[in-house]
Amino acid sequence: MMAPMRVTILASGSGGNATLVSAGGSRVLVDAGVGRALLERRMRAALGEVVDVDGIVVTHPHGDHASKTRELAGHFGCPVFLTEASHRRLELPDVRRRRFGYNAPFDVGAIRVEPMPVPHDAPNVALVLAHAGARVGIATDLGSVPRKLATHFAGCQAVLIESNHDPGLLAAGPYPDFLKKRVASRTGHLSNAQAAHLCARLGRETREIVLMHLSETNNSPMLAMAQARHALRGRRVKLRCAHQDSALDLSVKRAPGARLRPSEAQLALPF
């Protein structure tokens, strides 16, 4: 029986982001916003050991997602996958780089990566990572939800969605006005209500949702979870929040009887 895909959220928030996806003997690190020492501590806490990484996929060039790319790529000796726009904005000397198009799937070992552009104030992509019928969607740092995003996540058993802020807390909070406008803009970050609306549009195959990138100043897990639960209206979905200060581990399994997509069929073969 095929082993499930393992998704380990090592850090999520404005202080730094990194998510490890393991399947088919391959490991992909999505974003590199935390340094080696912290990354290894979180790996030990969640996995019981420090593991190697076959590739780093950078969603966009903001520091909390990409500031440690060079350090981690050098440590793991692995290539970095990024868009041309991110490549132009990041200085990565002595790092092997692999550029990908906004809508062009690519492989990191046995894991298929399917990107899609999303609106943010830096060029950004949402991702689906797939292997042998197991699929996880990741979308953080977007100010509005593209009409096709729910379709992009079709077939995903787990989805990781930004639920950054509560508009009331943001408006009354300590941020300067320009930053409040940036966060709330169509190229800023998703509110709890926007994230909840996306949750409601996900297919019935999605059985687990993790709310990501919660603001420590303008949100709370209780508020984010309450809105998402209301939108899901009693659907049997496991709902959790990721955190800045601890790791979260989940297993993503192919649904019984689910057919492989043509793009995944070859990747499902044993190596």
218 and 22 in contact (C-beta within 8 Å)?
no
pLDDT class for 261, splitting at 50, 70, 90? low
pLDDT surpassing 60 at residue 230:
yes
Question: In the structure, what pLDDT confidence band is assigned to residue 257 with cuts at 50, 70 and 90?
Answer: low
Handedness of CA 88, 94, 95, 98 (dihedral sign): positive
pLDDT at residue 6, as a whole number? 98
pLDDT surpassing 70 at residue 31: yes
Q: How far is CA 200 from CA 34, 95, 148, in A?
A: 31, 40, 14
Label residue 234 by pLDDT band (50, 70, 90).
confident
Give the separation between CA 84 and CA 104, rounded to whole angstroms: 12
Three-state SS across the chain?
CCCCEEEEEEECCCCCCEEEEEECCEEEEECCCCCHHHHHHHHHHHHCCCCCCCEEECCCCCHHHHCCHHHHHHHHCCCEEECHHHHHHCCCCCCCEEECCCCCCEEECCEEEEEEEECCCCCEEEEEEEECCEEEEEECCCCCCCCCHHHHCCCCCEEEEECCECHHHHHHCCCCHHHHHHHHCCCCCCEHHHHHHHHHHCCCCCCEEEEECCCCCCCCHHHHHHHHHHHHCCCCCEEEECCCCCCEEEEECCCCCCCCCHHHHHHHCCC
- Band of residue 256 on the pLDDT scale cut at 50, 70, 90: low
5-254 under CATH 3.60.15.10, yes or no: yes
The confidence score (pLDDT) of residue 266 equals: 43
Residue in 149, 183, 136 with CA at minimum distance from that of residue 163: 183
Output the pLDDT for position 3: 77
d(CA 8, CA 102): 24
Share of the chain above pLDDT 90, in %: 92
The predicted pLDDT at position 268 comes to 39
**Average pLDDT of the residues of the chain:** 94
Query: What per-residue confidence (pLDDT) applies to 270?
Result: 31
Residue 190: pLDDT band with limits 50, 70, 90: very high
**pLDDT of res. 254:** 84
Q: Which of 205, 161, 167, 160 is nearest to 183 (CA)?
A: 167
As a whole number of angstroms, the distance between CA 205 and CA 209 comes to 11
Q: Where are the domains of the chain?
A: 5-254
Could you give the percent of the chain with pLDDT greater than 70? 93
CA nearest 159: which of 201, 111, 187, 215?
201
pLDDT at 20: 98
